[in-house]
Amino acid sequence: MKAINSRNFGQLCREYGISRKTGYKWRERFVAQGLTGMQEASRRPHRHSEQLAEEVVCRIVRLKAAHAYWGPVKIRELYRRKHGGGQLPSESSFKRVLERAGLTRKRRLRRREPSGRLQAEVRADQPNALWTVDFKGWWRGNDGRRVEPLTVRDAFSRFVLEMHAVADAKTATVGRRFEKLFEAHGLPLAMRTDNGSPFACSHGLLGLTRLSAWWLALGIDLVRGRPGCPQDNGAHERLHLDIFRELEEGRTARPGGF
């Protein structure tokens, strides 16, 4: 009450050891809020410095709805291409928005079993250290003919080097695709495949085929998964799952073949 009725407010502030600025702050708070205003207010900002605008959040959710199986990294890149005029939110911001919107799925962690292979696993610590190769499984083209989608992926950068619907899985056909890949990207240090044709065969020396023997002659190390264990090439299998989902979404929106 002294602060309300005092004629010398500066002297009153000095008596209590506070500055005039602080004194005026508390007096104004008492006049506006009464005794409840005398409690220390939270210093937490009313708006988080990284809080996104409503328009940005809506754009992120719409992009995720259109690409249900994409994660925050891909959604962020797509956002940059479509709405890249201003400041791009961080990857963690995209992840936070998708989690709060209930649009993410937690991965199940699988217990890794010892491989039992004599050959040590190649570590992909740089581009072209390891390529992973496989066939997606045959598909019907727009003309109704059967095609074999060949996929090649760099294990370090995760860059898809090749996704081509070849006419067949014969050595000559696949070899021509790899000739172009080697010319464009150079030779990898190692190549990981399954034990199927044309990459390996059960009755050949060391399981070699004409294609894998050619790779070996070029100085490329061969890494093979265990028979019947696609999880040994799990990242590549996930690529195939993503391809399948994208093709299925495209098929429902626009009927057609591969």
Indicate if 69 and 15 belong to the same structural domain. Answer: no
Residue 6 in any domain: the answer is: yes
Q: What is the largest CA-CA distance in the chain?
A: 106
Closest by CA to 129, choosing from 104, 100, 158, is 158
The residue segments making up the domain with residue 87 are: 54-100
Peptide bond into 89 cis (omega under 30): no
Residue 175 in any domain: the answer is: yes
Indicate if 246 and 140 belong to the same structural domain. Answer: yes
Question: What's the number of domains the chain is made of?
Answer: 3
How does pLDDT run along the chain (258 residues), one tens digit per residue? 455 556 566 776 777 677 877 767 767 776 666 656 556 655 555 555 457 888 888 888 888 888 888 889 999 999 999 887 778 889 999 988 888 877 777 766 555 443 333 354 677 789 999 998 888 655 665 666 666 788 888 989 888 888 887 778 788 888 999 999 999 999 999 888 887 788 787 666 667 888 888 888 888 888 886 666 666 666 666 665 666 566 655 555 555 544
Indicate if 13 and 66 belong to the same structural domain. Answer: no
Indicate if 151 and 238 belong to the same structural domain. Answer: yes
Which residues have CB under 8 Å from 240's CB, separation 6+? 134, 136, 137, 151
Residue 124 in any domain: the answer is: no
Indicate if 151 and 240 belong to the same structural domain. Answer: yes
Indicate if 137 and 92 belong to the same structural domain. Answer: no
Indicate if 19 and 78 belong to the same structural domain. Answer: no
Residue 110 in any domain: the answer is: no
Other C-beta atoms closer than 10 Å to the C-beta of 16 total 11
Residue 46 in any domain: the answer is: no
Closest by CA to 122, choosing from 209, 199, 188, is 188
